[in-house]
Structure 1
Amino acid sequence: MANDPKIDRRDDVRPAEGEHKYGDVEFADPTNKKYPIDTPEHVRAAWSYINHKDNAAKYDKDEVEVIKNRIRKAAKKHDVDISD
Structure 2
Amino acid sequence: MKTDPKIDQRDDVTPAEGEHKYGNVEFADPTNKKYPIDTPEHVRAAWSYINHKDNAAKYDADEVDVIKDRIRKAAKKHDVDIQD
* Global fold match (TM > 0.5): yes
Aligned residues: 81
1:5 to partner: Cα distance: 5.3
Equivalent position amino acid for 1:24 in 2: N
Say if 2:58 is the partner of 1:58. Answer: yes
1:6 to partner: Cα distance: 1.4
CA distance in 1, matches of 2:12, 2:70: 22
CA distance in 1, matches of 2:81, 2:8: 28
Percent identity over the alignment? 91
Q: What is aligned with 2:74?
A: 74
Say if 2:28 is the partner of 1:31. Answer: no
Deviation >6 Å, runs of 4+:
none
Contact 1:37 1:71 (C-alpha < 8 Å) held by counterparts: yes
Superposition RMSD on alpha carbons, in Å? 1.0
Deviation sequence 1:8-67 (CA, Å, 0-9, x none)? 000000000000000000000000000000000000000000000000000000000000
Contact 1:18 1:33 (C-alpha < 8 Å) held by counterparts: yes
Q: Which runs of 5+ in 2 are unaligned?
A: none
Q: What is aligned with 1:12?
A: 12
Q: What's the TM-score, normalizing by structure 2? A: 0.94
